[in-house]
Structure 1
């Protein structure tokens, strides 16, 4: 599968690559002919003193160098263009895979996906460039060998035999280079993922005083990456050193043979100059081929990681059905067993605001994962129905259009407040801001600029903007998880009243998973989850009077 990705990359840009390879091959052929042309000039013009032949030769050299320069410029441009376009396409494919609502089972964390998208794509597309460079280097060697054959047949044949054997010997290091490069990229991805995790949870780490332990963890990961990088660099250094040694030996051998032939009078001075020039030039394509071995090895290692993401199966396999018309019970969970949930049952009626208190936070997380459609059907038992239709029979986009899960973790983006709220009609956005009691954010209206992650807002403001965004989406079923933990009691009571008034109508259903007494009091009904199942239902006041543990939890 790794090689198929590289082959696909080459095929996808075959037109641009074909033109680029042709120009690069022309460049290498003309560059190989430079010492040959100089040798001809010496024999035909300099040695004979023919001024006319010298002027014609100089003009020919000028044309040769013009073709050489233009071919390199435009051939390289086409090669780099094809590589950059392929890197862009791979990044888009990875982004689509990462953002697929069905999820993916690559087993990579967010930071690792970021590393694959940013680093491995750049490494993998080097194979596209390496194709052109390899063909150009082979062309240079063939032209040089033919020129040497014209001068002396054994000399040319020797080059044609020795160079391929040397390259085959150097190729033996390619598997080791691939393994070392793969280990390096994996270590780098792990370090990036650790950094992303630490930056994301920095506030929590500081709150519990664990930042020093986290820094040590990152330092350990970074040292491992450094070790892997140095191992890869050492292997590449050995390969480069061997390539340089082969070049030196080849240059010495060709020059020595040519000098011996010149002393014997079997070749002219011009031919000697041409052979020495070709011997020096041959070092360049041999070095290029050695470098291409490294490029292909690194590209294969990175392509394997890219393929792991692109070929990862979806985490869930939903159906393709549409959500039926609104039912009296918008959401029904029956006999659910998943993670800590056991024989769990819950129903949300149209027009109802349902509060849910989970004594174990893990039960709440499991319920949210189920409702968000992040759990494969084979991973849980029981049924989940939206408007009477089993969720596994529905198209996932359709299901998520009806059921919107707003997690406790707030994610805001750089841009205007309007864009972060979804960019709908202004009256609806302002109404959502009012329901979330977030008017204090409107310092510059809906065009108020937010920086990345909403860092120019307080924690409470970020939470209320996220709540306003969920309300502005106006989904038929809205699931909120602890939406007011960062606001004061007065604001929390205001949000509870406005949320109940705004959502408790028509065919809308709202599930609020929280321990907030203000939100639970505003709910039409409250369900209590303990031990993975619903153990009690009723209004907030009824549960406070009848359930000591409930009372202790919400009124602490």
Structure 2
């Protein structure tokens, strides 16, 4: 639907297909390295038979020279092969992270969006594990090459030994792969539990002040303790599976080595091979543990990559929250919610007061596109938003949420991320947002605005929204973290800067509501009253929600 692979296997295949140069070079060079490694015992055996046993100095010098060349080739092949592996691995990881970020930021949204912390885990840890499939693929070919060269070397010495290696090595690798599905399941469960814990930790850190305010620290701590304990248990189970897999690899390769060396020793005692050939066979038998280990390591990484690929595909191939629609026609910016009997007059400032905070959250989620509008539920200038292009709707209707998020940078980039506004416009927006005291536009702003106070973050977020100057601006409780004097300044600044434009204030602030042309009161999903603030102040339910 969106051009992305829809299965974990498809994602892994694409990762291999879109890096042909790095994968090809890495496979060729690492295979050359493994072939040279396998030839080292052969070179030592030839040196013993042709130089040491005969006492020939020229033969010794020639053998040493050839061995030196062999070591130079194998070392350089590994050096450049590893470089191509890392290049392909990191390039795929980067591309996956960009794709995940683009999918998350897509105006069409995601249906069933995971928590922020879990998305972060998918975009970092899971993307990296998927990228390692490039390494695993090159190691599979390199390990197979080493086994093939070793088998050929043994065949030239002893046909039974060579046949034994050709039959035994694939059998051993096949038996090890029987553990792969079990390892994949354990790894997938561990990654899900860790991501869930990371998401919960992110939410708790962001909501620390709220939790303290309502006295819910103990409940939150207990919830995190349970989630963390589950993540620990699944991590230990996954580590046990990895340990079992690696142990089986070491045990299997050790038994294989023992069998080959035992047969070679028996043949040497019978005089069927020379001393040099015996050394070659024993050396190859010892070396066989390396390619078998490489194949086992590659199998482990493929299992981890497959589990992570399933999680990445879950984001990339997720159904969009908003279907593709047509651009809205130009209009004055009239919003209507027919089911609520609620409308926003264009060019006016409308206040919205809810007796239940959940109603305010639901309204803001609908206007901001965090919830898909049902057919006929929300109209923009008479057009059904459910059939409009979400990106175009957001360009006209801007919703500044209550929880302000700022990126790391300076005050200038926090207010104007696009860098398109001049200094005069920046300062006008800051003044209207009651942030004229933040005079230094080059002031450093930490990630999420941690270097600013709560009130400063809120005012900077408001200034950012005002600078955009959208046709319709929706603000949700934009002054909860400021004092009464600053709140009055913001109310005056909003009235001045948004004069003649459509503005919706979902708030319980008397200072802001007093500046509204009209205030609508919502209760249980319906309009129960509307009028100027000073007239509604006489209603008990309105006074209970607003006056403080």
* TM-score, normalised by the number of residues in structure 1: 0.94
Q: Conserved in 2, the CA contact under 8 Å of 1:333 and 1:382?
A: no
Deviations 1:264-319 (A, max 9, x none): 11111111111111111111111111122211111111111111111111111140
Structure 2 counterpart SS, 1:74:
helix
Instruction: Name the counterpart of 2:483.
Output: 488
> Which deviates more, 265-274 or 203-212?
203-212
- Correspondent of 2:35 among 22, 29, 35: 29
Q: Conserved in 1, the CA contact under 8 Å of 2:350 and 2:520?
A: yes
Deviations 1:526-554 (A, max 9, x none): 11112211122211122224x23223432
- Correspondent of 1:519 among 512, 518, 530: 512
Deviations 1:71-113 (A, max 9, x none): 1111111111101110111111111111112211254111111
Residue 355 of structure 2 is aligned to residue 359 of structure 1: yes
- Correspondent of 1:417 among 408, 411, 415: 411
Q: What is the rounded CA distance, in whole Å, between the counterparts of 1:107 and 1:447 in structure 2? A: 35
Query: What is the deviation of 1:381?
Result: 5.2
Instruction: Name the counterpart of 2:389.
Output: 395
Q: What is the rounded CA distance, in whole Å, between the counterparts of 1:333 and 1:92 in structure 2? A: 37
Query: What is the deviation of 1:209?
Result: 2.6
Structure 1 counterpart SS, 2:519:
strand
Q: What is the rounded CA distance, in whole Å, between the counterparts of 2:257 and 2:454 in structure 1? A: 69
Structure 1 counterpart SS, 2:437:
helix
Instruction: Name the counterpart of 1:325.
Output: 330
Query: What is the deviation of 1:399?
Result: 1.0
Deviations 1:18-45 (A, max 9, x none): 1110111111111111111111111111
1:49-60 residue pairs with structure 2 within 5 A? Answer: 49-60=55-66
Query: What is the deviation of 1:196?
Result: 0.5
Q: What is the rounded CA distance, in whole Å, between the counterparts of 1:390 and 1:218 in structure 2? A: 42
Instruction: Name the counterpart of 1:175.
Output: 181
- Correspondent of 1:369 among 348, 356, 365: 365
Instruction: Name the counterpart of 2:124.
Output: 118
Give RMSD over aligned pairs.
Answer: 1.5
> Any stretches of 5+ residues in structure 2 without a counterpart?
1-6
Deviations 1:209-235 (A, max 9, x none): 322332222222222112111111212
Q: Conserved in 2, the CA contact under 8 Å of 1:106 and 1:308?
A: no
Instruction: Name the counterpart of 1:65.
Output: 71
Deviations 1:453-480 (A, max 9, x none): 2223222222111111111111111111
> Any stretches of 5+ residues in structure 1 without a counterpart?
336-342
- Tell me the matched-pair count: 539
Query: What is the deviation of 1:489?
Result: 1.8
* TM-score, normalised by the number of residues in structure 2: 0.95
Instruction: Name the counterpart of 2:426.
Output: 429
Query: What is the deviation of 1:357?
Result: 1.0
Q: What is the rounded CA distance, in whole Å, between the counterparts of 2:265 and 2:498 in structure 1? A: 94
Residue 208 of structure 2 is aligned to residue 202 of structure 1: yes
Q: Conserved in 2, the CA contact under 8 Å of 1:324 and 1:388?
A: no
Q: Conserved in 1, the CA contact under 8 Å of 2:350 and 2:517?
A: yes
Structure 1 counterpart SS, 2:341:
strand
Q: What is the rounded CA distance, in whole Å, between the counterparts of 2:405 and 2:472 in structure 1? A: 20
Structure 2 counterpart SS, 1:350:
coil
Structure 2 counterpart SS, 1:273:
helix
Q: What is the rounded CA distance, in whole Å, between the counterparts of 1:69 and 1:555 in structure 2? A: 78
Structure 2 counterpart SS, 1:49:
coil
Query: What is the deviation of 1:15?
Result: 1.7
Residue 232 of structure 2 is aligned to residue 229 of structure 1: no
Q: What is the rounded CA distance, in whole Å, between the counterparts of 2:125 and 2:504 in structure 1? A: 41
Q: What is the rounded CA distance, in whole Å, between the counterparts of 2:471 and 2:74 in structure 1? A: 67
Deviations 1:496-516 (A, max 9, x none): 1221122122xx111111111
